[in-house]
């Protein structure tokens, strides 16, 4: 009788023992993180998909590398250790160790555990690169004494916040807004002679051109970009060197300036040491200020996207003055229906950014004494807002704004039927008589011409001379 042998793979997890000041912890054997990371991973199982943003991890890699170089220059870290730390940081920046940062936003408000996550990964990876093995009782690089030298979580995390926020604004947010602004500016020029009816209070008003209407959107985005640009100087200030409470305890003289210079060199961005480290640790006004500009842009985008989709509404039973690109079917039950989906995406992004601003406002206002302990949630909300606005503007630009065209028939129909053209008669027959003309036209379903002549207030020739929409739009 034969025996059936099943080759079942070994799926049991393997662990190694790591230790910190609180004792021993079992850590997944193949991972580079250590005891403090594992404690946080087990103690803060809060929220799915709430990992610390990758941009913060990248920013930490820049600052850890810069700190190693500054410490070596100041003779408090051997060059061999500097080079090992630097090599691991370069691996992190290249995305090679992305799976080594499992911690969530919802942790200690100073971000200490994420700081230690970086310290442990860099130390253990450097030890392996030097020829050692994970789990060795002695390692060439110590996470606290070497990787975290001249640092505190209290000054590293706000530094990472500023690096990540600045880079996101420069490379994602501002370019996206600028592309949309430039497209709308081109449309405002292209449509400068398209006369249409204006609307106030959602009711008919006097005419303007489609180009003039769109120029208002351009101006909104210009103001938003200027407001955002004005916050970059404050955001470029780095807390690193403030140490635990802002005094710079356990940092060598000149370290704060030197480490900021290295960060500026490695990122190719104009970072500098903060003028006041106490503010940099206890208050995050630069983040609040900069996100306030993002909120301003979100408010503008909400208005712009809503106006454009209302002007395009219909296509036959509503305003119908614009044609928007047809990107995808709009209904699972109504054949042929096309919806303004890009506009809807932008308005949802705007509402999210406005909500994020509330969280950042509350968090920023709660810096107690020498430390604000809402750092991770502020960083996560800021980065989400900055990315959403940049990418939403780019998407809206490509899939909607670039393809906007006037619906000339709809524009002409509304212009000719509007009673508010009667405003042009005010200087000639007075406000009261002009109101009588408009009211009679409305009650009796007449044109303005028919109503005015019927009231014997002017002649047909005078009406044609005085009521000309082209003469009512002024100039840009």
Helix (H, G, I), strand (E, B) or coil at 292: helix
pLDDT given for residue 52 in this prediction: 98
* Residue 431: both structure tokens together: 């406000």
How far apart are the C-alpha atoms of 453 and 74, rounded to whole Å? 91
Active-site positions?
Answer: 201, 331
Domain 419-471 has CATH 3.40.50.2300: no
Beta strands 237-238 and 272-273 are parallel
Q: Do domains 15-149 and 419-471 have the same CATH topology?
A: no
pLDDT given for residue 11 in this prediction: 57
Q: Which helix (H) or strand (E) holds 258?
A: helix 255-267
How far apart are the C-alpha atoms of 460 and 452, rounded to whole Å? 9
pLDDT given for residue 48 in this prediction: 80
Annotation: binding site for substrate: 110-112, 142-145, 152-154, 200, 332, 337-339
Inter-residue contact 294 to 354 (CB < 8 Å)? no
DSSP codes joined into one string, 208-229? EEHHHHHHHHHHHHHHHHHHHH
CA 261 to chain CA centroid, Å, is 26
pLDDT given for residue 4 in this prediction: 58
Q: pLDDT by residue for the chain (476 residues), tens digit each?
A: 555 555 655 555 699 999 999 999 999 999 999 999 999 999 999 998 899 999 999 999 999 999 999 999 999 999 999 999 999 999 999 999 999 999 999 999 999 999 999 999 999 999 999 999 999 989 999 999 999 999 999 999 999 999 999 999 999 999 999 999 999 999 999 999 999 999 999 999 999 999 999 999 999 999 999 999 999 999 999 999 999 999 999 999 999 999 999 999 999 999 999 999 999 999 999 999 999 999 999 999 999 999 999 999 999 999 999 999 999 999 999 999 999 999 999 999 999 999 999 999 999 999 999 999 999 999 999 999 999 999 999 999 999 999 999 999 999 999 999 999 999 999 999 999 999 999 999 999 999 999 999 999 999 999 999 999 999 998 75
pLDDT given for residue 449 in this prediction: 95
How far apart are the C-alpha atoms of 228 and 187, rounded to whole Å? 24
For residue 302, give every residue at least 6 positions away whose Cβ sits within 8 Å of its Cβ, in sequence order, or none.
Answer: 346, 347, 350, 351
Domain boundaries, the chain: 15-149, 155-409, 419-471
How far apart are the C-alpha atoms of 159 and 256, rounded to whole Å? 11
* Residue 337: both structure tokens together: 């229906």
Q: How far is CA 203 from CA 42, 134, 305, 420, in A?
A: 59, 72, 19, 10
Inter-residue contact 208 to 423 (CB < 8 Å)? no
CATH code for residues 15-149:
1.10.275.10
pLDDT given for residue 5 in this prediction: 59
pLDDT given for residue 49 in this prediction: 86
Residue (of 395, 193, 184, 186) closest to 308 by Cα position = 184
CATH code for residues 155-409:
1.20.200.10
Helix (H, G, I), strand (E, B) or coil at 353: helix
How far apart are the C-alpha atoms of 29 and 2, rounded to whole Å? 38
Inter-residue contact 375 to 159 (CB < 8 Å)? no
């Amino acid at each position: 009788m034969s025996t059936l042998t099943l080759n079942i793979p070994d799926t049991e997890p393997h662990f190694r023992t790591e230790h910190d000041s609180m004792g021993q912890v079992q850590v997944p054997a193949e991972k580079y993180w250590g005891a403090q990371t594992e404690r946080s991973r087990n103690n803060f199982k809060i929220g799915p998909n709430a990992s610390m943003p990758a941009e913060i991890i990248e920013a930490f890699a820049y600052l850890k590398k810069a700190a190693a170089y500054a410490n070596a220059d100041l003779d408090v870290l051997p060059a061999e250790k500097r080079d090992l730390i630097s090599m691991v940081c370069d691996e992190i920046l290249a995305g090679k160790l992305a799976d080594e940062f499992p911690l969530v936003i919802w942790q200690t408000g100073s971000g200490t555990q994420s700081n230690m996550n970086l310290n442990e990964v860099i130390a253990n990876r450097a030890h392996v690169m030097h020829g050692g093995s994970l789990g060795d009782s002695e390692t060439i690089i110590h996470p606290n004494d070497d990787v975290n030298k001249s640092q505190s979580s209290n000054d590293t995390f706000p530094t990472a916040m500023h690096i990540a926020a600045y880079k996101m604004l420069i490379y994602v947010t501002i370019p996206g807004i600028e592309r949309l602004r430039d497209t709308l500016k081109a449309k405002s020029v292209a449509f400068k002679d398209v006369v249409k009816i204006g609307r106030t209070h959602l009711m008919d008003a006097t005419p303007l051109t489609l180009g003039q209407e769109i120029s208002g959107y351009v101006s909104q985005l210009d103001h938003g970009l200027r407001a955002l640009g004005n916050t970059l100087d404050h955001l470029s200030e780095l807390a690193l060197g403030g140490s635990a409470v802002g005094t710079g305890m356990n940092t060598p003289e000149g370290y704060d300036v030197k480490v900021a210079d290295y960060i500026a060199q490695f990122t190719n961005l104009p970072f500098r040491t903060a003028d006041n480290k106490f503010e940099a640790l206890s208050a995050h006004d630069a983040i609040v200020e900069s996100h306030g500009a993002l909120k301003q842009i979100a408010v503008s985008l909400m208005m712009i996207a809503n106006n454009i989709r209302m002007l395009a509404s219909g296509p036959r039973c509503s305003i119908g003055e614009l044609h928007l690109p047809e990107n995808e079917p709009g209904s699972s039950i109504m054949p042929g229906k096309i919806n303004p989906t890009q506009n809807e995406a932008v308005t949802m992004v705007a509402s999210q950014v406005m909500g994020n601003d509330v969280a950042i406002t509350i968090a920023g206002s709660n810096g107690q004494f020498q430390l604000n302990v809402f750092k991770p949630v502020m960083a996560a909300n800021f980065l989400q807002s900055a990315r959403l606005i940049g990418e939403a503007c780019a998407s809206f630009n490509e899939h909607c704004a670039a393809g906007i065209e006037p619906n000339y028939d709809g524009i002409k129909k509304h212009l000719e039927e509007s009673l508010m053209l009667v405003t042009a008669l005010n200087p000639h027959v007075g406000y009261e008589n002009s109101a009588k003309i408009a009211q009679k036209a409305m009650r009796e379903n007449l044109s303005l011409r028919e109503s005015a002549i019927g009231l014997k207030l002017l002649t047909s020739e005078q009406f044609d001379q005085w009521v000309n929409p082209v003469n009512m739009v002024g100039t840009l």
